[in-house]
Amino acid sequence: MRKNCVRVKNVDSVHGIMPFLMKKRTEAEVYYVERIDVTNLLKYLDKINEGKEKHEKITLFHAVITATAKTVYNRPLLNRFISGQRYYDRTNMLFGFVAKNKLEDNAEERLIILDVKNNMNLKTLSEKVLSIVSKTRNDNSNGMNDILGVVTKFPRWLLNLVMSLVRWLDYHGILPSFLSDGDINFTTVMFSNLGSVKANCCYHHLNNYGNNSIIATVGVIQEEDNKKYVDIGFTLDERIADGIYFAKSIKMLKYILENPKLLDEDVDKKIEL
C-alpha cells in the first residue's frame, strides 16, 4: 500500500492508456525552458535581507522553491505520479535537491528532502531549507546517504539482485519506508540549483525509479538591457497532465516570481490569472 497518496481511478481513456504505451517515465519526458525577469525579485530580496548574515539570507533559489510550492498547490495535477502503471495523487508535497558539503569537485553530496506545508511562505520555507542544509552538512550521518554507503559496497551480482527486488517492491507499492523517505526520487519536484555554481539551466532526465514526475534546473542570473533574468528548465512526465495544463502552470510560476509580494502569502493561497 503506497503511503501519502490516493489512487486516481477516473482518468480519461487517453491518459489511462499512456502508462501502457509509455511504460517508463523516461519515455514520456517533455522538456521546456522559461526565461523569467527577476529584476524586481532581486530588489525585493535585497530589501528583506538587509542586516542579515550571509548564512541567514533568503536566496533566489528559496524564492523559486516557494513559487513552485504555490504553483503546485494551485495546479494539483503537478502533484500526481505514475507507479506500477497506475495514477496517484500525493496527499503531501515533498521537494528534493542535492547539497554539497563544499563547492568542490570531490565534496560529498547529501540528499535533502523538504516537506512543504500549506501554511508556509518565503520566510518560513527559506528558514527550513537553511536549517535542514546546515544540519545535514554538519551531521556525520544522513539516512539515505548511509544506506547507499553500505549497499554500494556489495559485489555487483548482489547489488543487481538487491536493486531488482527494490524495483519489484516499488512497482507493487510495498517498498519499505526506510528506502523511500529520504530519497529525492520520491518527491513532487526535484531541483538542481546550477546557478550556485555559475552554470545555466540544462536538460535533466527523469528517473524510472521512484515516483518523481518533475525536475527543475535553475540557472545563473543573467543581465540584459538593465534587467536581470534567470532561465529555469523543466522536465515533466507528460502522462500526468496535458500540454495546456503544463503551459498554464509555468505561466503561473513566472507570474509569482515577477510579483514577489505573492511569496509572503501562504503557499496554498489561491491565485487567479
Per-residue pLDDT, 147:
76
CA gap 105, 40 in Å, rounded? 33
Q: Kind and range of the H or E element at 12?
A: none
Q: pLDDT by residue (tens digit) across 70-118?
A: 999 999 999 999 999 999 999 999 999 988 666 555 556 778 999 999 9
pLDDT of 268: 96
- What count of other Cβ atoms lies within 10 Å of the Cβ of residue 272? 5
Percent of the chain whose pLDDT exceeds 90: 80
- Give the separation between CA 138 and CA 65, rounded to whole angstroms: 23
b/e burial code for range 100-133 (CB count within 10 A of at least 16 → b): eeeeeeeeeebbbbbebeeebbbeebbebbbebb
pTM: 0.92
Give the CB-side neighbour count of residue 200, counting CA atoms within 13 A: 9
> How many Å apart are CA 107 and CA 114, to the nearest integer?
22
Contacts of 51 (CB under 8 A, 6+ apart): none
Q: How far is CA 126 from the centre of its chain?
A: 15
User: How many C-beta atoms surround the C-beta of residue 39 within 10 A?
Assistant: 15
> Residue 36 corresponds to which cell in the numbers above?
523569467
Residue 169 in this model has a pLDDT that exceeds 60: yes
Q: Pull the grid cell for residue 6.
A: 490516493
What are the helix and strand counts (H, E) for the chain? Answer: 8, 10
Task: Name the β-bridge partners of 227.
Answer: 224
Task: Report the sign of the C-alpha dihedral through residues 221, 31, 182, 263, in that order.
Answer: positive
Q: State in words which class domain 5-264 has.
A: alpha beta
Query: What are the pLDDT digits (tens) for 217-243?
Result: 999 999 999 999 999 999 999 999 999
Residue 272: pLDDT band with limits 50, 70, 90: confident
Distance of CA 60 to the CA centre of its chain: 15
**Helical axes 122-138 vs 60-74, angle rounded to 10°:** 120
pLDDT recorded at residue 66: 98
Whole-number pLDDT of residue 103: 56
In tens, the pLDDT along 17-74 reads 999 999 999 999 999 999 999 999 999 999 999 999 988 999 999 999 999 999 999 9
Record the cell numbers describing residue 101, joined without a space: 558539503
Q: What is the pLDDT of residue 16?
A: 93
In this structure, are residues 244 and 32 in contact, taking their beta carbons and an 8 Å threshold?
A: no
